């Protein structure tokens, strides 16, 4: 008999959701309680048996509970029915399981299929808060991040603050210390998302208060990952305000967080932010040194490993995009154009806002090389990419930079033609 294989799909899901074996056991037991009225008896040892492959096909109720907790079919979690030769073979339902599944998933809908969370009435809130609540709130932040990737952060601030308020409100209920820390971490995520929503919209008033609150919550969560998330946003805010010394200092604070010291991916982002801040400060050589460190660290990172939702955007495409900003700022527009093309080639289709932003950067790099006709054509793609969605404020500012530089460098007739052509798209976007 072949040796049991480890259950990588389940392990991957747990890693992506930051869930330990005891927490998954608790979540399964809570979900079982919603179906049967009695909390289940799944243990940490049971989870380890699932992960090791020693238990390839849990009991039916546990399977249904796992589907409710994860929102995934049991076959997608690496489990295989008895007698199936391949661990990739789809699971076959047992007699009566469809009825049980409908009953169970209906009872556990708030766990498995919650949308962006809105705090329920006080009378409807649970007396005990557990892992299921953490999962539901995390699904909410993941939905916010997905919306931001698609169309930008505008309009998401109030929803994000509602999510943070719910996470903090649940602190008043009975919960373990581990769950309380996770709730603080989620409140940090939501508050940081609210801050980003204003940054992306170009509405910088009020961002500082959100970030100060988020940094406090990250401390309460004892979570260096969230602390770095906040310092990263502070660096972006400072650059938007043209306070470049603070942008550099914030990025350097991100560099010394515990997570950046142990994770090459986090270190790469922190060095890239430092590099961009230095470039805007007129310090080209230090900027290029930090860019090289960012590239070196990213080369050491395992990009297949699960990561927090706020960091999913960062990888080769984003580093190329930041490289384009840096190169253009220090007077290397040809290198900036090349980096922009690399970023666009590496960007996933879901990152529509990032694609539009990088396209605008490409147009600027072409304009700064005197390629006026090409730059005007490239800039028009921004409006095509974002068709049907208002341009985020930050992108509007970038298009404004393009228009200003176009007026300064192009023949008046060309600049006026561009303004006339895109005035409607810009003002109506």
Q: List Cα–Cα distances, 347 to 150, 175, 279, in angstroms.
A: 13, 41, 24
pLDDT above 90 (res 122):
no
Q: What percent of the chain has pLDDT over 90?
A: 51
Tally of CB atoms within 10 A around 233? 24
Q: Is 118 left (phi over 0), alpha (psi -120 to 50) or beta?
A: beta
**Per-residue pLDDT tens digits for 72-92:** 788 888 888 876 554 444 444
User: Residue 183 — very low, low, confident or very high, per pLDDT cuts 50/70/90?
Assistant: very high
Q: How far apart are CA 411 and CA 405, in angstroms?
A: 11
Q: What is the pLDDT of residues 335-349, one digit of tens each?
A: 999 999 999 999 998
Per residue in 15-67, pLDDT (tens digit) is 777 777 888 888 888 778 776 777 788 888 999 888 888 888 888 888 888 88
Write down the pTM of the prediction. 0.76
45 Cβ contact list (under 8 Å, min separation 6): none
């Amino acid at each position: 008999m072949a040796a049991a294989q480890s259950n990588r799909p389940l392990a991957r899901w747990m890693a992506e959701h930051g869930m330990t074996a005891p927490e998954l056991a608790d979540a399964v037991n809570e979900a079982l309680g919603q179906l049967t009225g009695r909390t289940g008896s799944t243990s940490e040892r049971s989870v380890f048996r699932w992960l090791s492959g020693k238990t390839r096909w849990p009991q039916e109720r546990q399977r249904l509970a796992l589907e409710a907790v994860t929102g995934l079919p049991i076959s997608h979690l690496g489990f295989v029915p008895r007698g199936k030769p391949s661990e990739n073979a789809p699971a076959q339902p047992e007699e009566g399981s469809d009825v049980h599944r409908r009953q169970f998933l209906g009872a556990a809908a708030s766990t498995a299929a919650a949308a962006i969370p809105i705090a329920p009435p006080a009378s409807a809130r649970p007396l005990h808060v557990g892992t299921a609540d953490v999962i539901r709130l995390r699904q909410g932040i993941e939905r916010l991040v997905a919306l931001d990737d698609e169309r930008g952060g505008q309009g998401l601030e109030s929803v994000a603050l509602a999510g943070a308020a719910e996470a903090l409100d649940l602190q008043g209920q009975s919960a373990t210390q581990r769950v309380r820390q996770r709730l603080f971490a989620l409140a940090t995520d939501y508050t940081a998302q609210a801050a980003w929503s204003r940054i992306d919209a170009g509405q910088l008033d009020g961002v500082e208060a959100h970030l100060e609150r988020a940094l406090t919550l990250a401390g309460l969560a004892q979570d260096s990952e969230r602390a770095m998330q906040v310092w990263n946003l502070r660096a972006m805010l400072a650059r938007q305000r043209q306070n470049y010394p603070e942008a550099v200092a914030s990025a350097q604070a991100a560099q010394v967080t515990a997570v950046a010291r142990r994770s090459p991916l986090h270190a790469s982002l922190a060095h890239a932010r430092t590099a961009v801040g230095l470039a805007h400060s007129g310090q080209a050589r230090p900027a290029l040194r930090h860019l090289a460190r960012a590239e070196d660290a990213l080369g050491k990172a395992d990009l297949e490993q699960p990561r927090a939702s706020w960091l999913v955007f960062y990888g080769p495409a984003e580093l190329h995009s930041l490289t384009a900003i840096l190169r253009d700022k220090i007077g290397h527009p040809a290198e900036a154009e090349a980096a922009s093309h690399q970023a666009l080639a590496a960007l996933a289709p879901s990152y529509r806002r990032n694609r539009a932003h990088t396209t605008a950067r490409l147009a600027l790099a072409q304009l700064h090389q005197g390629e006026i006709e090409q730059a005007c054509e490239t800039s028009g793609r921004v409006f095509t990419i974002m068709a049907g969605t208002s341009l985020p404020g930050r992108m509007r500012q970038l298009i404004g930079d393009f228009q200003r530089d176009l007026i300064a460098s192009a023949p008046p007739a060309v600049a006026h033609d561009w303004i006339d052509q895109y005035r409607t798209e810009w003002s109506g976007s």
